[in-house]
Amino acid sequence: MSNQAAERPRPLSPNIQIYRPQLTSVLSIVNRVTGALLSVCGIVLVVWLVAAATGPHVYALVQGTIASWIGQIALFGVTFAFFLHLCGGIRHLVWDTVHGFELRSIYASGWAIVAASVVLTLAAWLPRLFAG
């Protein structure tokens, strides 16, 4: 009996690839991915602060990297990731108060945080776009 059970492979839950992507699942994954990405940005924040504390030459080096084309594109992406994680986090905090769990509200809040993240990212970059 126990041998037979050991030979038969245990049932596995279906892999995520077979599901049609839904807003709910995609945003859940997005919150994790942006969180991981922002962790890397935490390293950049510390490097930037340490450079500022070290002196103008080291700071200019870090600032120059951020001001480069690649740096600016990365910073734009990071801004969007930040607002997605921020809005997604606020959505989670609202859920923690046991509100907004109806299917309609879940989709409404989902689209709301996507729209808010786009608007906030563009708003954050407006001064930069006008300046340069």
Partner 1 sequence: MDRQRTRSPLARARGFGSAKHGAEHWWMQRVSAVALVPLTLWFVASIIAHTGSDYATFIVWLRTPLISILMVLLLIALFYHTALGLQVVIEDYVHSGVKFAALVAVRLGCFALATSGIVAALRIRFGG
Q: How far apart are CA 127 and CA 13, in angstroms?
A: 49
Cβ contact 120:80 at 8 Å: no
Contact call for residue 46 and partner 1 (CB under 8 A): yes
**Residue written as token pair 């990297």:** 65
Q: Is 59 in the site for partner 1 (CB under 8 A)?
A: yes
- Of 30, 47, 49, residue with least CA distance to 110: 30
As measured in angstroms, the least distance from the Cβ of 92 to partner 1 is: 8
119 binds partner 1 (CB under 8 A): no
Spell out the alpha helix ranges (H) of the chain.
2-7, 23-54, 56-67, 69-96, 103-131
Interface map 69-98 toward partner 1 (x if CB under 8 A) = ----------x--x---x--xx-xx--x--
Q: Nearer to partner 1 by C-beta: 33 or 115?
A: 33
Binding interface with partner 1 (CB under 8 A): 32, 35-36, 38-39, 42-43, 45-46, 49-50, 52-53, 56, 59-60, 63, 79, 82, 86, 89-90, 92-93, 96, 124, 127-128, 131
